[in-house]
Chains A and B, each alone.
Chain A
Amino acid sequence: MTAGAPEDVGLRTTRVRMTGVAILVAFAIVLAMGWTARLPLQTEWFDAYQVISPRRVDASPVTIVEIDDGSLATLGRWPWPRTRLAQLIHTISGAGPAAIGVDIVMPEPDPLSPDTLLPRIDADAALSDRLGELPSTDKELASALATAPTVLITAGSPGPSVNPLRVAPFVVRDAHASAESAARAVSRLIAFPGAMASLPLLEDAASGWGFVSADDPRGVLRRVPLVANVNGTLAPALAVEMWRVALRVPALRLATAGGEVKGVTVGNRFFPTESDGAARIWFSHHDPGRFVSALDVLEGRVDPGRFAHRFVLISVTAAALGDYLWTPVGEKMAGSEIHAQLLENMYDGTLLQRPSWAPLAEAAGFLVLGGLLVWAVPRWPMRYTSLLALGCVVVALAVGLGVFKGERLLFDAATPVAGLLLLSGALLALTLADATRNRKALEQVLQRQREEAARVAGELQAAQRIQREMLPLPERLRDPRVEIAASMEPAQEVGGDLYDFYMLDDHRLFFMLGDVSGKGLSAAMFMAVSKALYRSAALRSLDVDVGTLMSAANREVARDNPSSLFVTVFAGVLDLASGELDYCSAGQESPYLIRPATRDLQRLAGGGGPPLCAVDDYAYASAQASLASGDVLCIVSDGVTEAQNAAQELYGSERAAPVLAAADSAREAVELLRADVRAFAGDADPADDMTVLALCWRGQSVAE
């Protein structure tokens, strides 16, 4: 196959498919390895699930007591004296909450406590005594904390802890009791160098100590560690610790398996986490119903039912003081509401899960859908493959959303879909490019074929014209002593057959039949040259025998033979007066001598030699025969003997004998033979020129 020729469709399809498979496999590996986990695409897609399908809250187990702007406006600006916090806790505690989480860090003594104030003011003795009699506000808060199921927070900090970190004991339990796996899992926990805790006085009084941190990539909070590693200590999240306090269990369990954290167990509740101990919150929209104002609580306007057997969070939400974070549902929420959402998730068992095998599943899904595209794109029309690609995208997105809604499992449909779009784009582009290239190549081939056909046709026409015009017409020889008939049927590709006859003098007829080896213009030209040279040799030396003439012609023709062609020639000189024939064959099929008088057929096989040009300076010998009146001499080119039928059988020289034996004239000999060869060859294309020259000597009969 030449360069630029059209390739067969299978090869093109294979190339497109190979490229497709390469993209497919490469992208599947990227997916399976989870390298796309940090791409905004995946994160955004998970957020989109929450926007499309946010969690509905029917009855929250959480109440947030918010120290809001209204509370501060009425009761004085922040920080409030801790006695007021104590009062708040007492009030809530009276309603019997499951746990109270105080989302306020108090690392310093209360600046408004009398014992703190006393050294700082220049008070008289009476005032000092009175202040001294008042209890420390911190002590008062501590006693409040001690009487209720309270949890204080410790906040993750970039520096080392100031106060000693107090935590509930954590027991690490590996599924396969592998210490190594447990250690590896623990090492994967989100780590903080230190944490800021409240005063030891307060910490000692509280029932639990919950860790608070915001792991917020790109400013949106999606995941919260249920357990963090604070400088080597396992610290439970505020929500976990509130659960522990609510369930009245002394210790927490960290479940690990295969070197990964699986979750946190609190009493009889298990909260699954991802491998680093973090949980994904399924957010609901902001719900004002979660909140009650601290002012309302302090002034007794809140139904105690809002606190009984509930998780209560005390938090500052005043605009200037509160911490607000962006959430996946597209709203900013107070940190306490995020804690509340986490508690709700833990309560409902609605934490979102991204299984550790999710990347493999995504890669597998991508391979299946992408494989379908790779299979179909080179094969189907483009409008179908576009629909198929669209279908694959819709299926992937629908499955992702369905699994989220039904099972709260996070599967990334967006990244594989991006891969599918990339893949189908590449496949379509390749297919198009191939189709274009192939069409161009086809056009080139067609153009070349047209040019070649035109060239060959031109050459053939020229060759055929040369050949035709070189041949003498039998009727031009008007001599009653001889009848000449000739026939030449050119093959599709012109060969180099020639025949010639002319009178050397009054009695002697020279005739020849030649066949140039080779085809096309060069053969035709060589035939023309040979004929001319032969004629000049014959006319120059009229008296010599045909063998000598042949030797002379051999020298002449061989002198200028750049294509190394050769030419077989039968030449003869017939004395029309006597019927004496002098002849020589140079590699030519022996002529048939038909004697109608006796129905006898002979072959003239004497003398001769190799074709002209085959052997330099060959001494050709002539032979003689005597013709009787009415004898027909028939010379054929090898287009006759080598005519083939469809079964590739050769006509040969024997088949002609009985046919020619029936001939009574030159014309009959030519026509009978031609008809028989045609009948033999059938529909097979003639491979070579088919030339027959016959002459009938009528000398004696004319003389009689």
Chain B
Amino acid sequence: MQFASRHYGNVIVAVPSGRIDHAAAAPFELALAPLLGNSDASGLVLDFGSVDYISSVGLRVLMIAAKQLRARKARIAVTTLQPVVAEIFKISRFDAVVEVFPSLRGALGALSPEARDAYDAG
């Protein structure tokens, strides 16, 4: 699993890639952890465009992140799900745990217009 992150306005966009399976769950959790502690951010968007697969252990990481963000009124969203991952989200009903958007721009717009402007500005 690879992991990158950047800021658009007050929203953090994290871009994991590869398989978030049993082996990758711990690195995924550790990569995500510092972003969750950023109290300036009003939201976290996970761009799953390059995520090929996520196992239940990976979903658990998302769940923990969602609880942590929700506790401080921040939002969490995932975007650009590949079909396999979208199926997993649908079956596990994780669309109720994190917000799911088809595009990054849409997700940013939903979370913060300011972030979308920053995204549009490049």
Question: Which residues of A line the B interface, CB within 8 A?
Answer: 515, 517-519, 564-566, 568, 585-590, 608-611, 613-616, 618, 638, 641-642, 650, 653, 687-688
- A637 to chain B: closest residue by CB: B56
Q: Tell me which residues across on chain A come within 8 A of B94, comparing CB atoms.
A: 587, 610-611, 614
A610-B97 contact, Cβ under 8 Å, with A564-B67, A568-B92:
yes
- Cα–Cα distance between A518 and B61 once the two chains are bound (Å): 10
Contact between A587 and B22, CB atoms less than 8 A apart: no
Q: Mark B14-27, 1 if CB is under 8 A from A, else 0.
A: 00000001100000
Instruction: Chain A residues near B97: list those with CB within 8 A.
Output: 610-611, 614-615
Query: In the bound complex, what is the Cα–Cα distance between A587 and B63 (angstroms)?
Result: 12
Most buried by A among B53, B59, B84, B96: B96
Knowing A564-B67, A642-B55, A687-B22, the reply to whether A586 touches B93 (Cβ < 8 A) is: yes
Task: Sort A-B residue pairs by CB-CB distance and give the 6 closest, nearest first.
Answer: A610-B96, A587-B92, A517-B56, A517-B60, A610-B93, A614-B97
In the complex, what's the smallest C-beta–C-beta distance from A275 to chain B, in angstroms? Answer: 69
B64 interfacial contact with A, CB 8 Å = yes
A344 to B95, CA, bound (A): 110
B93 touches A587 (CB 8 A): yes
Q: Given the complex of chains A and B, what is the CA–CA distance between A641 and B57 in angstroms?
A: 15
> What's the minimum C-beta distance from A696 to chain B, rounded to whole angstroms?
24
Contacts of A588 in B (CB 8 A): 91-92
Instruction: Give A558's nearest chain B residue, CB to CB.
Output: B67
Residue of B nearest to A586 (CB): B93
Chain B interface mostly:
helix
Residue of A nearest to B59 (CB): A517
Bound-state Cα–Cα, A618 to B67, Å: 13
Interchain CA distance A230-B22 in the complex, whole Å:
92
Closest CB-CB distance, A211 to chain B, in whole Å?
A: 87
Q: How far is the CA of A272 from the CA of B47 in the complex (A)?
A: 88
**Inter-chain contact B63/A650, CB cutoff 8 Å:** no
B93 touches A611 (CB 8 A): yes
Question: How far is B63's CA from A613's CA once the two chains are assembled, in angstroms?
Answer: 9
Contact A615 B96 (CB under 8 A): yes
A610-B92, A618-B96 in contact; A519/B60 too (CB < 8 A)? no
* A–B Cβ pairs within 8 angstroms, 26 of them: A517-B56, A517-B57, A518-B60, A519-B57, A565-B60, A585-B93, A586-B93, A587-B91, A587-B92, A587-B93, A588-B92, A589-B91, A610-B94, A610-B95, A610-B96, A610-B97, A611-B59, A611-B92, A611-B93, A611-B97, A614-B96, A618-B96, A650-B53, A653-B87, A687-B21, A688-B56
A650 & B60 in contact (Cβ 8 Å cutoff): no
